[in-house]
Amino acid sequence: MKDFKPVRTAVIGCGMISKIYLENCVRQFHVLDVVGVSDLVPERSAARAAEFGVRQMTNEEILSDPSIELVINLTYPVSHYQVTKAALLAGKHVHTEKMMATTFEQAKELYDLAKQKGLYLTAAPDTFLGARLQTARQVLDSGLIGKPLAANIALSRCYRHNEWKKEEEKRFAFCPGGGILNDVGCYYLTALVSMLGSIERVCGFSSTWEPARPFLNPENPAYGKMMTYEDCPNNYAGALQFENGVLCGLTVTSETYGGGSSFMLYGTQGTLWLDDPNNFGGPLEIELKGSREKIALPLTHAYDTNSRGLGAADLAYAIRNGRAPRCLPEMALHTFEASCGVVKSGMENTTVRLTTRTERPAPFEPGHTEYPEAVMDL
């Protein structure tokens, strides 16, 4: 690899997800030069700064530092819009945790602002860059399962235990623009779009089961008090029609116990079992025409462990090499519009034709080495 100048980076938001991001971005992805972290709670940013040997900063210090090129936005989801907009206005590229904002209108505003300023705005999830889904992409593109015809997403998680120790730990589960479809369903939608391309139209239904319920963890100061879903459905059913003709059924709920989840892609010559797209590695199975059993496929690509931050690293390579990042801004906006469209369809009793589209991101080459891309010495 050629010598290169790492992209000076700062992290805003030092909550739970920041630990694995910093572990990877500081110690594994050397294209990133993480120089500082900030948080609304100074004790949290101080702890992360000490843990990873970087500087504790304020948001204002990060945004006013002309040497910082990239901001990784790991704030609470309802703060994504505000923090990302401020960073873009300060001339910084941004990689944000999912979703881009809490409304599609806000996300589109941020997308347009980044384009106007000639900046990159990418968003998680980046698990589609991991070993399993990149292997699945290669299998699909090879024609092994024939022409893809249909997919199925059945996602069941239990958010009903209400065992959060702090009220703010409700996180994305109960906030506007959040809920199970955007909190976890985005991994499934992003995985499919990365393999199949744009969704043409969606339809669906959504509902909110038990919109008010008590906190059940005695350690929570709000124990026994009622918490509410704030305009946030927790039960969904829908259908997606892709531009290439693939049809996908969608069932998503956060209100059940047991049952697990499934994620499948059906082709004319075989079926892929894609397992949980929230993980970078894990099992990938195939059943081919003429066979009556599933076969476990070896993973042919790198990053089979928790590699969160890989999308930010790929963005840094894109900045240095003047190419499109693999966490395409258009893909993040498109998948968010699709999830919003499922809700909108049920409310308006109509099919929703999406206004955005995206290309499929460039795949990684097979191999188990570290990120292979050479970077220009700037």
- Which domain range does residue 164 map to? 128-296
Tell me, yes or no, whether 136 lies in a domain. Answer: yes
Which residues sit opposite 238 in a β-bridge?
Answer: 204, 250
Q: Do 269 and 198 belong together in one domain? A: yes
From the list 203, 215, 202, the residue with the least C-alpha distance to 173 is 215
Q: Do 47 and 69 reside in the same domain of the chain? A: yes
Task: In whole angstroms, give the CA distance from residue 39 to residue 310.
Answer: 22
* pLDDT of 180: 87
- 201-253 pLDDT per residue, tens: 999 999 888 877 777 777 777 777 777 776 788 899 999 999 999 999 999 99
Q: Is residue 150 part of a domain?
A: yes
- Whether 276 and 151 map to the same domain: the answer is yes
If one counts the domains in the chain, the total is 2
Token representation of residue 239: 């259908």
Check pLDDT > 90 for residue 97: yes
What span, in angstroms and rounded, lies between the C-alpha atoms of 295 and 272?
10
E strands within the chain? Answer: 7-12, 32-38, 55-56, 70-73, 93-96, 121-123, 148-156, 199-207, 212-214, 226-228, 235-242, 247-253, 262-267, 270-273, 285-288, 295-296, 352-353
Q: Is the same domain home to 224 and 92?
A: no
> Two tokens at 296?
């476990």
Does the pLDDT of residue 88 top 90, yes or no?
A: yes
- Of 273, 308, 282, 295, the residue nearest 154 (C-alpha): 273
Q: What CATH number did the domain enclosing 203 receive?
A: 3.30.360.10
Structure token pair of residue 201: 């139209």
* Mean local confidence (pLDDT), 88-98: 97
Residues 194 and 237 both lie in one domain: yes
Q: Do 220 and 190 sit in the same domain of this protein? A: yes
Maximum CA extent, the chain: 62
pLDDT at 259 (0 to 100): 72
pLDDT tens per residue, range 17-39: 999 999 999 999 999 999 999 99
Asked if residue 204 and residue 77 are part of one domain, the reply reads no
Residue 373 placed within a domain? no
Average pLDDT score, the chain? 91
Please write the tens of the pLDDT for every residue from 132-146.
999 999 999 999 999
- In this structure, are 39 and 139 located in the same domain? no
pLDDT digits over 296-346, tens only? 999 999 999 999 999 999 999 999 999 999 999 999 999 999 999 999 999
Claim to verify: residue 179 and residue 250 sit in the same structural domain: yes
Res 163: pLDDT: 52
Both 120 and 137 in one domain: the answer is no
Q: Are residues 45 and 118 in the same domain?
A: yes
Same domain, 203 and 290: yes
Average pLDDT over residues 78-104: 96
Residue 282 has pLDDT above 60, yes or no: yes
CATH code of residue 37: 3.40.50.720
Let me know if residue 225 belongs to a domain.
yes
pLDDT higher than 90, residue 179 = no
Q: What is the pLDDT, as a whole number, of residue 214?
A: 77
The average pLDDT across 63-74 equals 98
The pLDDT-based confidence of 376 (bands split at 50, 70, 90) is: very low
Higher pLDDT among residues 12 and 209, named by residue: 12
* % of the chain exceeding 90 in pLDDT: 76
